Amino acid sequence: MATFVHLTPAANAARVRRAGLRAAGCGEWRGVFLFPVLPSYTLTHQWLRELARRPGSRGLVAVHVRLPDDEAVTVGRYSDREPARVTAAVAVRRVADAADARGWEVFLPRSVARAEIRHIRPVRQVNGWRYRPDAHGTPPCLCFGCRDRGGYGARRLAERRPHPLDGPAPAPRVLLARVEAAEAAGDTAALRDALYWFGMRRRGPLPRLSALAGHADPAVRTALVEAVAYWSTPGVAALLRELERDADPGVREAATEALVR
């Protein structure tokens, strides 16, 4: 039998003790994440601090699970697109033999029955890494995919180290000055760049930018659609309906997709 641990909020302990661990997720990836119980307490509970960052009840407990050696699971690092499909015994051996077991995980594609749970134990809440192994002392990536939106100090960090593509966007007055300078110089590339940054914002000066719906370059008109598509500013839908009747098919398609969203 292979022994694994699953970390869950302490508030769930009574339900888990009564009914087991419910599968989460959807489709093929609906199940329970586990980690082998290794001789190292630190490695066994390494995911604790990362999971503790999630909103919800404070404090986690370790649910110890025993599975048959031939149980089908997947194993690999959290960043693996296609984790290996192996048995539970092989998964334990692969993690134990890894040169660096940090960031590894085992996925069981089903629920865990109450009879398969051996213990529910408290764990030290300061154990493990956050964000990713070796993140401490490494400048964080602030792209849209990696950014910790809403996390402690996230806004100040983004303002101090703005990402060249994902912002945060400059202030509207700065972007309007760029638009005016680009129009005066006839620089359509700079104009599209300013509209790209307007698309990072939730609202914007729609009356000033609406005039670009008549710009001679269809690439600029498409950039205008993408800039205002997610704004909550009144009048956006009317502008998009106007651009749905544009002479250029690419602009019409972009406006239609924006209205559907």
In a domain, 245, yes or no: yes
Q: Do both 11 and 101 map to the same domain?
A: yes
Q: Do both 109 and 200 map to the same domain?
A: no
In a domain, 161, yes or no: no
What DSSP state is assigned to residue 201? S
Closest C-alpha to 46, from 60, 26, 57: 60
Helical H segments across the chain, by residue range: 13-19, 41-44, 48-52, 88-97, 154-160, 172-185, 188-198, 206-209, 218-228, 236-243, 249-260
Q: Do both 115 and 10 map to the same domain?
A: yes
Helix (H, G, I), strand (E, B) or coil at 131: coil
Question: CB 222: neighbour CB atoms within 10 A?
Answer: 21
Residue 99: which domain range? 2-122
Mark which of 62, 91, 122 sits at the end of a domain: 122
Q: Do both 106 and 197 map to the same domain?
A: no
Q: Report how far residue 6's alpha carbon sits from residue 35's, in angstroms, rounded to the nearest whole number.
A: 7
Bond from prior residue into 168 cis (ω within 30 degrees of 0): yes
Helix (H, G, I), strand (E, B) or coil at 93: helix
The total number of structural domains that make up the chain: 2
Q: What's the gap between Cα 89 and its chain centre?
A: 31
Q: Do both 83 and 180 map to the same domain?
A: no
The half-sphere exposure of 43 on its side-chain side, counting CA atoms within 13 A, is 16
CB of 161 closer than 8 Å to CB of 139? yes
Q: What is the CATH number of the domain that holds 71?
A: 3.20.170
In a domain, 87, yes or no: yes
- Quote the tokens at residue 4: 């694994």
- 258 Cβ partners below 8 Å, 6+ apart? 225, 226, 228, 229, 240
Q: Report how far residue 115's alpha carbon sits from residue 112's, in angstroms, rounded to the nearest whole number.
A: 8
Q: Do both 105 and 177 map to the same domain?
A: no
pLDDT in tens, 66-99: 999 999 999 999 989 899 999 999 999 999 999 9
pLDDT in tens, 212-230: 999 999 999 999 999 999 8
Mark which of 95, 122, 149 sits at the end of a domain: 122
In a domain, 131, yes or no: no
Q: Do both 113 and 216 map to the same domain?
A: no
Residue 144 has pLDDT above 90, yes or no: no
Q: Do both 11 and 111 map to the same domain?
A: yes
pLDDT at position 28 is 81
Q: Report how far residue 179's alpha carbon sits from residue 202's, in angstroms, rounded to the nearest whole number.
A: 18
Q: Do both 117 and 183 map to the same domain?
A: no
Residue 63 has pLDDT above 90, yes or no: yes
Residue 153 has pLDDT above 90, yes or no: no
Structure confidence at residue 202 as a pLDDT band (50, 70, 90) = confident
pLDDT at position 149 is 65
Q: Do both 92 and 176 map to the same domain?
A: no
Mark which of 122, 139, 157 sits at the end of a domain: 122
Place of tokens 């307490």: 41
